[in-house]
C-alpha cells in the first residue's frame, strides 16, 4: 500500500466533502481503513505545503504522485469519484 497525503483547509467546503467521501468509502470497503493517510492543514503547516506542487484544496497525493486537485465548482459526486480513485491507487 502507498501512503496518501491530503492537503486541506479547515473552512473549505470542498475539503469537508472530501472528508465526508473518505468516511463513506471506508464504510464501503474495509481495505481503505488500512491506508496510511496524512492530512495536512495548509495554513497550519505552510512549510510542508510549500514542498508540494498544487494550487487548490483538497489535493491528494498517492506516494509522490498528485492524483486529484479539486477546482471551484466540483460537486460532491466529482469529489467522491476522485477520492475513491486516490484510495484505489493507494491499495493497488
Q: In the chain, what are the domains? A: 4-91 (3.40.30.10)
| pTM confidence score | 0.94
Residue 87 CA to residue 92 CA, distance in Å, equals 9
User: What's the angle, vertex CA 28, arms to CA 26 and CA 33, rounded to 5?
Assistant: 25
Taking only the tens of pLDDT, the chain with its 92 residues reads: 999 999 999 999 999 999 999 999 999 999 999 999 999 999 999 999 999 999 999 999 999 999 999 999 999 999 999 999 999 999 98
DSSP 1-31: ---EEEEE-TT-HHHHHHHHHHHHHHHH-GG
Q: Specify burial of residue 50 (Cβ count, 10 A radius: 0-12, 13-18, 19+).
A: exposed
Amino acid at each position: 500500500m502507498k501512503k496518501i497525503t491530503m492537503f486541506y483547509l479547515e473552512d473549505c467546503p470542498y475539503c469537508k466533502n472530501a472528508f465526508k467521501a473518505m468516511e463513506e468509502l471506508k464504510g464501503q470497503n474495509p481495505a481503505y481503513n488500512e491506508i496510511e493517510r496524512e492530512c495536512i492543514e495548509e495554513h497550519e503547516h505552510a512549510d510542508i505545503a510549500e514542498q508540494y506542487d498544487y494550487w487548490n484544496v483538497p489535493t491528494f497525493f498517492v506516494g509522490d504522485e498528485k492524483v486529484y486537485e479539486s477546482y471551484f465548482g466540483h460537486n460532491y459526486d466529482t469529489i467522491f469519484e476522485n477520492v475513491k480513485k486516490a484510495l484505489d491507487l493507494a491499495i493497488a
